[in-house]
Amino acid sequence: MYIVTGGAGFIGSNLVKALNTKSSEPVVVVDDLTDGHKFSNLADLAIADYLDKDEFADLMESNSDYLQDVKAVFHQGACSATTEWDGRFMMENNYAYSRELLHICLEHKVPFVYASSAAVYGASRSFVEESANELPLNVYGYSKLLFDQYVRRVALGAESQVVGLRYFNVYGPREQHKGSMASVAFHFNEQLRKDGEVRLFEGSAGYGNGEQERDFVYVEDICAVNLWFLEHPEQSGIFNVGTGRAQPFNDVANAVIAWHKRGAIRYVPFPAGLKEAYQSYTEADLSALRGAGCDIEFRSVEAGVKAYMDALSAV
């Protein structure tokens, strides 16, 4: 049995789909369906059970027999809103809950693969998994960094596998519920369909219009990395997961326009309140991931956006 926390969310539901494809092993989804719109991410998936996130933590603590059948916990659940500034809420969801699950998995020697984030790097220009490069710009990034630091202190020498995956800018199917936090590829597609144009920020931090660069990574490639670690339980650590290649937002917009064969780009003023907490550049250093032996190939923006648009058109 596999357990996926945040299994009704964007990356979590794609991971459940990948696990369904990989084997007939039952998958248990853990989530908080206060936002009931997320049900649609589960409707076409095979799940053995659904548990509320609080119910799951209690069950893990009180019933050790339950864990005997668990082959791995993929902890994808978190508040991922980079614009959320309620620090107490963020730390309860992203740090304290993760710490609780970690200790339960360590105690019972259950492999624990969790979602970290490139937000831990903030304004850094170096994206190597080292403390000197970790300079988060928002409380979301800090909550992820604090848990990574905790893992480094208490878990990386453990008998069972513990893996933290620092996702860069993920896009792809099953993110429609995320609203403003959905990927730019999603928003560009919606804008073009409704208005015939896509809107990008004007230049900032020395970058030209739409030329801020991110490491955009397709969600299916993210899932493939998760499954690679499942197959390599001897590997533990904290690893970047991105393409290793920064591309400008203009590339994403042009890929959406190319798929639709119509549309134009319009640049809009950069919001003043966002500038101080905005990453204008990210690019995953994949040395640690490749050093661990992970040979998953990552799609370019052009290939990934085409796959995404194809998937959206098929719904």
pLDDT tens track for 38-83: 999 999 999 999 999 989 888 877 777 788 889 999 999 887 666 6
pLDDT digits over 203-253, tens only? Answer: 887 899 999 999 999 999 999 999 999 999 999 999 999 999 999 999 999
Same domain, 12 and 151: yes
Strands 216-218 and 264-268: unpaired
Length of the chain: 315
Q: Domain check: are 77 and 125 in the same one? A: yes
Measure Cα distances from 66 to 14, 26, 56, 111 in Å.
25, 13, 11, 15
HSE-CB of 153 using CA atoms within 13 angstroms: 9
Same domain? For 107 and 193 the reply is no
CATH of the domain at 192: 3.90.25.10
Residue 41 DSSP SS3:
helix
Q: Distance of alpha carbon 258 from its chain centroid, rounded?
A: 26
Shared domain check, 150 and 69: yes
Both 7 and 132 in one domain: the answer is yes
Extract the tokens encoding 176. Answer: 């429609």
Domain tally for the chain?
Answer: 2
Share of the chain above pLDDT 70, in %: 97
200 in the same domain as 121: no
Mean pLDDT to the nearest integer, 170-175: 97
Domain span at residue 51 reads 2-168+218-243+283-299
Query: What's the CA gap between 252 and 246, in Å, rounded?
Result: 11
Burial of residue 197, with CB atoms counted within 10 A of its CB: 0-12 exposed, 13-18 middle, 19 or more buried: middle
Same domain flag for 270 and 223: no
* Separation of alpha carbons 164 and 108, rounded Å: 18
What 149-157 contacts at long range (C-beta under 8 Å, 24+ apart), as own/partner pairs, is: 150/95, 150/99, 150/102, 151/102, 151/238, 152/238, 154/102, 154/106, 155/102, 155/106, 155/112, 155/236, 156/236, 156/237
Q: What pLDDT, on a 0 to 100 scale, did the predictor assign at position 206?
A: 87
- Is 144 one of the annotated active-site residues of the chain? no
Known catalytic residue at 97: no
pLDDT at position 160, please?
Answer: 96
Which residue's entry shows tokens 């903030």?
A: 122
231 token code pair: 């197959």
- The pLDDT assigned to 244 comes to 98
Same domain for 191 and 71? no
When pLDDT is cut at 50, 70 and 90, the band that residue 31 belongs to is very high
Write the CB contacts of 40 (distance below 8 Å, at least 6 apart in sequence).
Answer: 176, 177
Looking only at the bridges linking them, the beta strands covering 169-171 and 216-218 are parallel
Say whether both 140 and 198 belong to one domain: no
- The catalytic position among 2, 97, 121, 140 is 140
Cross-strand partners of 237: 163
224 and 198 share one domain = no
* Phi, then psi, of 132 in degrees rounded to 5: -65, -20
What is the pLDDT at residue 303?
98
pLDDT digits (tens, 9 = 90+) for 96-140: 999 999 999 999 999 999 999 999 999 889 999 999 999 998 999
Whether residues 119 and 72 fall in one domain: yes
Q: Considering 66, 178, 207, 306, which one is annotated as catalytic?
A: 178
Residue of higher predicted confidence among 157 and 220: 220
Q: Considering only residues 123 and 26, tell me which one the structure prediction assigns the higher pLDDT.
A: 26
Dump pLDDT digits (tens) for 253-307. Answer: 999 999 999 999 999 998 877 766 678 899 999 999 999 999 999 999 999 999 9
Interior/surface letters 245-260, b for 16+ CB within 10 angstroms, e for the rest: ebbbbbbbbbbbbebb
Place of tokens 């800090």: 142
Q: What is the CATH number of the domain that holds 153?
A: 3.40.50.720
pLDDT of residue 163: 98
pTM over 0.75: yes
Of 105, 96, 240, nearest in space to 168 by CA = 240
Whether residues 161 and 51 share a domain: the answer is yes
pLDDT, the chain, mean: 93
Q: How far apart, in whole angstroms, are the C-alpha atoms of residue 250 and residue 208?
A: 10
